[in-house]
Structure 1
Amino acid sequence: MVGVAVCGSISSIKALWETRIRRRKEEQEEEQEQRRRRKARDGATGRLSLGVWEDRVALAQLKQKLLTEDGRLILRIEQEEWKSLPGCLVQLSQVQEWQIHRTGLQKIPHFISSFQNLLVLDLSRNGVTEIPKQIGKLTQLRELLLSYNRIQFVPEELSCCESLERLEMAMNRDLDHLPDQFRNLKKLQHLDLSMNNFTCLPDCVVALPVLEWLDMGGNQLQHLPEDIHRMEKLHALWLQRNKLEKLPENISRMASLDTLALSCNRLRDIPSLMENMSNLRFVNFRDNPLTLDVTLPSRRTEDEDEDEDDREMFGREFMHMYIQEARKRTYTVLNPADR
C-alpha cells in the first residue's frame, strides 16, 4: 500500500510540472507574439512618419517653384530631376499653369484631374509616354504642350477639353494616329504635329472648325485630302519634309491661306489654279523635283542679302512664273503650228 501511494504521488507531481511547463511555454509564445506585433506596429508607424516627412519636404520644394506672372499662379520646374510628381502636389490645386521642362518626367499623374483651374499644361522636353484619360476632366485647359516626349497614343478623352485652343505634340516620333473624337475640339486654333509618323492628314483635323495654324512638317505624308478646302479658317499650313508627290486642285479654294510651306517633298508640278490664291503671301517649293526648270531674273541689289533673294526665288513670284511657263508649254504642244 505504501508503494502505491508513493507511485501516485510521483505521478501527480509529474503531471503538475508538465502543466506548469506547458503554461510557461504558452506564456512565452504569447509574449513573443505581442513583441512581434508591437515591432510591426512601431515599424509601420515609423514608415508612416517617414512618408509624411518626405511629403512635407517635397511640398516645401514645390512651393519654392511657385511664382505669379500676369496674375496667374505658375508652377515652374526646369532642368531638375523629377521623374514623377508626388501626390502632395494636389495640395497646390489652385495652380493655373504648369511649366515643367527637361526634368525627365515620365508620367502625367492621374491626379491631374484635381487641377480644375489649370489653363496651361506645358510638359515639353521630358520623357512622358502617355496622356492619362483623366486629362478630359480639365475643361478650362487652353494650352497643352507636349512636344519632344515619347507619346504614341492620344486618348479620345482629350476631346473633352472643350476650351483647348493650342495643342503642340511635335517630335514624339511614333505618333501616327488621332481619335476621331478629336474633331470635337471646337476652339482649337493652333495644332503642331510636326516630326511624327503620320502618313496622311487625319480627317478629324480637317474637320476642326476654327483651326488657323497647322504644322505637319517632318512626317510621312504621301498625299493630301481632296476636301482640304474644308479648312476654311486655316492661315498657315506647314508641310515641309514629307513625301507629297502632288497637290489636290482644291487647295486653291483655301481662301484664308496666306502661308504654305512645301519644301523638301516630291512635287512634280504646281496646280495652275493656285495662281488665283490672292491671299497667299508666302509659299516655298524649294527642293522639289519640279518638272520645269524655271528661274526668276535676279533682283538682288547691293543692299539685299542672299537669304532674302533665296526666299524670293521660291516664293509667290516663282509659283506664278512656273504656272505661266507650264501653261505656255502646254499651249505650244497643243498648237505646234504657232511656233
Structure 2
Amino acid sequence: MHTRPDQQQVQGLQQDPDQSKLVFRLEGDRWTDFPKELQWTTYLQEWHVRGTRIRRLPDFLPLFTQLTVLEIPKNTLSELPPEIGELPGPPRVPPRVHPLPRPTKMVPPELEDCENLERLELTGNHNLSELPFELSGLKKLAHLDIAENRFASIPICALRMTSLQLLDLSSNRLSDLPQDMDR
C-alpha cells in the first residue's frame, strides 16, 4: 500500500548542485511503499530514503546501474534483499537498516557481489549478531560500522577484509576475541 505524504516530506528527484548527480529523496513515516514511477528513473545515482514505514527494497533495485549511494537509515526494513548483490558494484553504498528482527538472515551473502563497496554501515539494528562469511570477499571495504548490535565477537569475515581500516563494534555485547585474530 502506498500513501501520499505532504510535499515537505518528499524531496523527490533533484539535481545535486554540488556533485551534478541525480538524487532521489524519500522521507516521512507516511510512506509505506516506494512510488511505482521510481522504476522508470534508473538513471538515478543516489537514493536517500529515511524514516519511512517501507518494509522492503524494491525488486527493481538492480536496474539502477548508475547508483553510487544507497542510504536507507531509520526505516522499517526487515532485511536487505539478495537483489542488493545485483547492483553493479557502486563505489559507495552505505546501507543502514533499522530494525533487523532475524539476525542470522538479514545481511545477504549476495552483498559480496558489490565488488567496489567501500563502506558498509549497519549501526543501530540492535538484533544483528552475525555477518555472512562471504562478506570477507569485499576487497575494497575500508569502513565497517556494526555498532549498537548484538555481536559477541568480531565477525570472522571482518578479520579477512584486506582493505578494512575502520571497524566500529561499539555498544555490542563483546565477550571474546577470535583465536586467529591477526590484525
The 3-state SS of whatever aligns with 2:44 is: coil
Counterpart contact for 1:83–1:107, Cα < 8 Å: no
TM-score (norm 1): 0.48
Could you tell me which residue of structure 2 aligns to residue 293 of structure 1?
none
* Deviation for aligned residue 1:106: 1.2
Shift of 1:147: 4.3
Structure 2 segments unaligned to the other structure (5+ residues): 5-9
Equivalent residue number for residue 127 of structure 1: 76
Which structure: greater helix fraction?
Answer: 1
Query: Using the alignment, how far apart are the partners of 1:205 and 1:99 within structure 2?
Result: 26
Normalised to the residue count of structure 2, the TM-score between the two structures is 0.86
User: Which residue type is aligned with residue 195 of structure 1?
Assistant: E
Whole-angstrom distance in 2 between the partners of 1:139 and 1:215: 26
Q: How does 1:42-81 map to 2 (within 5 A)?
A: 65-69=12-16, 70-81=19-30
**Distance in structure 1 (CA, Å) of the matches to 2:61 and 2:44:** 11
Please report the RMSD computed on the Cα atoms of aligned residues, expressed in angstroms.
2.1
**Counterpart Cα distance in 2 of 1:193 and 1:107:** 21
Q: Which has the larger radius of gyration?
A: 1
CA distance in 2, matches of 1:182, 1:71: 31
* 1:76 alignment partner, SS class: strand
Residue 114 of structure 2 corresponds to 161
- Partner of 2:94, secondary structure, is strand
Deviation at residue 64 of structure 1 after TM alignment: 6.2
Total equivalences in the alignment: 171
Work out the CA distance in 1 between the residues paired with 2:171 and 2:22. 35
- Could you tell me which amino acid in structure 1 is paired with residue 93 of structure 2? E
**Residue 146 (structure 2) aligns with:** 193
Q: Provide the rounded CA distance (Å) in 1 between the counterparts of 2:65 and 2:72.
A: 17
Task: Give the superposition deviation at 1:140.
Answer: 2.9
- Residue deviations 1:25-55, cap 9 Å, x none? xxxxxxxxxxxxxxxxxxxxxxxxxxxxx9x
Do the aligned partners of 1:131 and 1:154 also contact (CA within 8 Å) in 2?
A: yes
Of the three residues 135, 145, 157, the one matched with 2:95 is 145
Query: Residues 158-307 of structure 1: matches in 2 within 5 Å?
Result: 158-230=111-183
How many angstroms does 1:225 deviate by? 2.2
Counterparts of 1:202 and 1:111 in 2: how far apart (Å)? Answer: 30
Percent of residue pairs bearing the same amino acid type:
35
Shift of residue 78, structure 1, vs aligned partner: 2.0
| 1:89 corresponding residue in structure 2 | 38
Contact 1:124 1:149 in 2 (8 A): no
Structure 1 stretches of 4+ with a deviation exceeding 4 A read none
Give 1:99's match in structure 2, choosing from 44, 48, 57: 48
Normalized per residue, which structure has more strand? 2
Report if aligned partners of 1:93, 1:115 keep a CA contact under 8 Å in 2: yes
Note the C-alpha offset of 1:145: 2.3
Q: Distance in 2 between matches of 1:146 and 1:99?
A: 11
Does the aligned pair in 1 maintain the 2:52–2:75 contact within 8 Å? Answer: yes
| Distance in 1 (alpha carbons) for counterparts of 2:97 and 2:34 | 19
> Which of the pair has the greater relative contact order for Cα pairs under 8 Å at 6+ separation?
2
Deviations 1:216-260 (A, max 9, x none): 111111111244333xxxxxxxxxxxxxxxxxxxxxxxxxxxxxx
5+ residue gaps, structure 1, are 1-53, 58-62, 231-339
